[in-house]
Chain A
Amino acid sequence: MRFDEPALRNPIDDLTVFGRPVARIEGPLKVTGAARYAYERTELGKAAYGVVVGAAIPKGRIRAIDRTAALASPGVLGVITTLDHDRLPTADMCAATLFGGDVIQHHHQAMAVVVADTFEQARAASRLLSVTYERAEGRFVLADEEPRAEAAPDTENGGPDAPDIDVVGDFEAAFRAALVRLEQTYTTPYESPAMMEPHASMAAWQGDHVTIWTSNQMVNWAVRDIPRALGIPAENVRVLSPYVGGGFGAKLFIRCDVVLAALAARALGRPVKVTLHRPVIFNNTSHRSATIQRIRLAAGSDGKLTGISHRGLSGNLPGGLAEMATSQTKLLYAAPNREIGMRMATLDLPESNFMRAPGEAPGLMALEVAMDEMAEKLAMDPIAFRILNDTPVDPHVPNRRFSERHLAECLRVGAERFGWSARQARPAGVRDGRWLVGMGVASAIRNAIPMSSGARVRLERSGRLTVETDMTDIGTGTYTILAQTAAEMLGVTPADVGVTLGDSNLPRAAGSGGQWGAANATGGVFAACVKLREAIAARLGFPAAQCTFADHHVRSGNDTTSLAEVAQRGELIGEDLIEFGDLGKRFQQSTFGAQFAEVGVDAFTGEIRVRRMLAVCDAGRIINPVTARSQVIGGMTMGIGAALMEDLGLDAKRGFFVNHDMAGYEVPVHADVPHLDVVLLDHPDALASPTKAKGIGELGMCGAAPAIANAVYNATGVRIRNYPITLDKLLHELPPLSAL
């Protein structure tokens, strides 16, 4: 099905189960431990255990690896070292070598996998390798490399010919002429996705075919990249990823666990499973780059922005992607003069790659604080200032409208619900016992990305429906929303629908990333259901266009047949692919939000506690308010982490992230998170997808951190522009206790 015209009324709009709160259909499996993740599968038989050994230098070569002692260790079946293989080709959009060759690009790059009968044996033997390194000088400090940084054009939005800097009008002239100006630099730290399930893969070969159970967000990218890495035909690889214990970007691409499990299984002729032990994940896999962002804003005394400049810098290995922290600034506020662009510096650190809300998350951490600072300079309310500078069109392509844009409504609804009117504009003006209390707000934007997505829906003889696709559920609720889609289209309940996901033998779907999963995958199931409805109508001799499906029955005029009766005559299958035309080009399709935070800062110690948070979201039709809300609170929670604690600490001499485990890399825990309030506005987007949904998984993270940062400022009068905002940065600038 081609989606190139705005969606008209269709069976989804009945909203019998689509758009309704439905508990996760796989929930009972998850709460009882019955859902099996990659390392826990039994289908391939008893697997040997592989333990990965990472390089202890950040850059250089491996001269030799002596494996004698490891091989002699009890239970060891084999040791495969990176010197045994040529360098394996790197996956698209990735920069780090997964395995092979003697060149070390970054700390903890996989050097070897030690395989044994038991995990204990493999782990013990993995410590017996003796490695001779030849260390090279590396570049580890982002700010130091700024002079050598190169432009990182926004090809994702601007295509292959995107300019180095997006320019409209004459920013410098506007800035010089402006009555009110802001010029500030903000930094965001290296962050780790730190999903709870470590990367894990289990592989077994049958002849020259390999089956791999893995934990991966994008099955269709995995089956593209694995054959390349292993040098075998694509059709010889089957990948299964039905449960993913969180990804947040870390599992978009295959990592070394996949190739090492497959290589070891091939070498040993038996199934092998490999999980990355936690301390190796942070430096072996990918993280979000730190950024340095310089923002300049120009406005007249009326508060209208006359110029926006947002220039950013991030780092990566050669050939890697930049953290596009400036892109959202092209779309968020109006201003006639603009210059926006990223640059990227080459670093010899582990690979930077996509992490939840790539670009927007750190970009808004700078822009939305700058907006708060500018509102203060203008003596305007930060919400009024944002609404005044709202734009109905893409400010860089003024004839391009947004499909739907309700940012102002988000801000207004949120202000009302959060009690914004009680906020004191003067910082450090509210006291609650030992706590300085403040409120902050930030806008949120994250684009909707149309991607083709396929699915098959079977009406089985039993009368049950089964949805089949290689789509994944990474905690997002995919199982449930696909069941809702099929149920709505065929007039049954979600309980009548089975959903099989994450198998590369099934129709290829969009996968999970960039908050594109929900809208595209439900679009694919919608298309397959249209086909199935046609097949059912044809069997009954009904004209397909006039059939309605409701209450387990098909109706055409006065004729009614139950689906069970149709099914008894033999299984029927609908399979299709949703493909998108140029609506996404003609209209800017984005999701919007407003984030509100209230914090308390201990007047004596500078300790920061988040007291309340609210997110108001404009994200198209909400498919399932339960799972959508969960996506948003998950993003808000990660926003608390980004604002207040998350920070991969760099050893600038040895070139690695020091706090590479779950204790050293601090993420929010229960005690850090208050009740989180979410309002989901109802603005179906007929230009975005046939279900009028857009996705919400990353929007909830956008704006959450700067809302907290602005609240900390409002509470204390101390503006911290280098995240995370920790008490040591506040302590010496807190208001004198006598003034309290």
Chain B
Amino acid sequence: MPQSNMNPPAASGMTPVRFITVNGEQHSPPEDPRTTLLDFLREQLDLTGTKKGCDQGQCGACTVLVNGTRINACLTLAIMHVGDEVTTVEGLGKPDALHPLQRAFVTHDGYQCGYCTPGQICSVIGALAEIDRGVPSHVTGDLSAPMITTRLEMRERMSGNICRCGAYSNIQDAIAEFVGEPR
């Protein structure tokens, strides 16, 4: 079960924050500095929604949001995230209270085996935030024009999230519904 905060209050002003916040709950960082954020989530907090497909930054299955930015949780050490707010797929919605993007994945069958799915969903949210911030991609045309969420943009930006089941076409439909095409 996710532990709630077991940390003692900060002893001095030198170390004001000693927690990693995951889905709104505070957790002590792992004792072993080698622990990746991914293994911390999965093996210590039992938040197994975030998946391990490769453990080396190649597949996107481990995508989570850290302070709203998507990252590969396998490529970062948990202790580097003291003071950060981590959101995993479990923090977005529950089976009986789905996030609208999760519902769109169900509606459009945007998955098959489901193993890449949590990473895809977190990645969509991170990618849309990048567009909102005006961060361009390889396929962005006019860099000075307002950024629009096209299917081409989303296909490009989601390409770090492999789906070997090949649900891409449906995932793009789910994204389009979520963003309210055309955006």
Contact = CB atoms under 8 A, between A and B. Distances in A.
A699 to B, nearest CB: 14
Contacts of B118: 31-33
A286 B157 CA distance: 32
Contacts of B79: none
Interface string A685-724: 0000000000000000000000000000000000000000
B4 to A, nearest CB: 19
B48 A673 contact: no
Contact of B32 (A118, A279, A475, A673): A118
Contact of A32 (B61, B95, B113, B164): B95
Interface stretch (A83-91, A193-201, A560-568, A588-596): A193-201
Interface-centre pick from B35, B106, B165 (highest chain A CB count, 10 A): B165
Contacts of A546: none
Interface stretch (B10-18, B38-46, B128-136, B141-149): B38-46
7 contacts: A27-B105, A31-B89, A243-B113, A630-B170, A634-B112, A662-B56, A670-B155
Contacts of A29: 95, 114
Interface residues of B, number: 63
A124 B34 contact: yes
Contacts of A635: 166
A661 B151 CA distance: 28
Nearest to B154: A670
A29 B89 CA distance: 11
B102 interface: yes
B47 interface: yes
B112 A475 contact: yes
Contacts of B93: 31-32
A662 B51 CA distance: 15
Contacts of A277: 55
Interface in A123-181: 124
A613 to B, nearest CB: 9
Contacts of B55: 277-278
Given A31-B105, A246-B112, 13 more contacts: A28-B96, A39-B52, A40-B42, A42-B46, A246-B165, A248-B164, A278-B54, A475-B111, A476-B112, A630-B165, A667-B164, A669-B162, A673-B166
B107 interface: yes
Contacts of B37: none
Contacts of B183: none
Nearest to B115: A245
Given A120-B32, A196-B53, A196-B163, A474 B102 contact: no
Contacts of B105: 27, 31
A216 to B, nearest CB: 13
Nearest to B57: A663
B165 A196 contact: yes
Given A28-B95, A33-B118, A669-B162, A626 B109 contact: yes
Q: State the 3 A-B residue pairs at the shortest beta-carbon distance, nearest first.
A: A33-B49, A637-B166, A245-B115
Contacts of B58: 278, 661-663
A28 B111 CA distance: 11
Interface-centre pick from B32, B59, B113 (highest chain A CB count, 10 A): B113
A32 B155 contact: no
B26 interface: no
Contacts of A672: 159
B114 A245 contact: yes
B172 A634 contact: no
B80 to A, nearest CB: 15
Q: In the complex, which range does the number of interface residues on chain A fall in?
A: 35 or more
Contacts of A474: 113
Interface of B: 32, 34-35, 39, 42-43, 46-56, 58-59, 61, 88-90, 92-96, 98, 102-103, 105-107, 109, 111-118, 121, 151, 154-156, 158-172
Contacts of B113: 195-197, 243-246, 474-475
Contacts of B88: 33
Contact of B102 (A32, A35, A634): A32
Contacts of A630: 109, 112, 165, 167, 170
Contacts of A275: 52
Given A120-B34, A633-B169, A36 B48 contact: yes
A281 to B, nearest CB: 9
Nearest to A23: B106
Contacts of B102: 28, 31-32
A475 B114 contact: yes
A627 B109 contact: yes
A9 interface: no
A634 B165 contact: yes
Given A31-B102, A119-B39, A670-B159, A633 B167 contact: yes
Nearest to B160: A669
A28 B104 CA distance: 11
B44 to A, nearest CB: 9
A278 B58 CA distance: 10
Nearest to B175: A670
Interface in A592-637: 626-627, 629-631, 633-637
B168 A23 contact: no
Interface-centre pick from A31, A121, A124, A629 (highest chain B CB count, 10 A): A31
A246 B109 contact: no
A661 B95 contact: no
A475 B117 CA distance: 11
B52 A198 contact: yes
Interface in A617-671: 626-627, 629-631, 633-638, 661-663, 667-671
Nearest to A640: B166
B158 A670 contact: yes
A585 interface: no
B3 to A, nearest CB: 14
Nearest to B102: A31
Contacts of A675: 151, 169, 172
B115 A676 contact: no
A31 B121 contact: yes
Nearest to A34: B95
A24 interface: yes
Given A120-B32, A194-B164, A196-B53, A33 B115 contact: no
Contacts of B158: 669-670
A587 interface: no
B35 A668 contact: no
A70 B114 CA distance: 36
A221 interface: no
Contacts of B160: 669
Nearest to B118: A33
A28 B172 contact: no
Contact of B114 (A35, A668, A673): A35
Contacts of A477: 112
A197 B54 contact: no
B61 to A, nearest CB: 6
Contact of B89 (A32, A245, A629, A638): A32
A522 to B, nearest CB: 18
A37 interface: yes
A674 B102 CA distance: 22
Contacts of B159: 669-672
A121 to B, nearest CB: 8
A638 to B, nearest CB: 6
B20 to A, nearest CB: 17
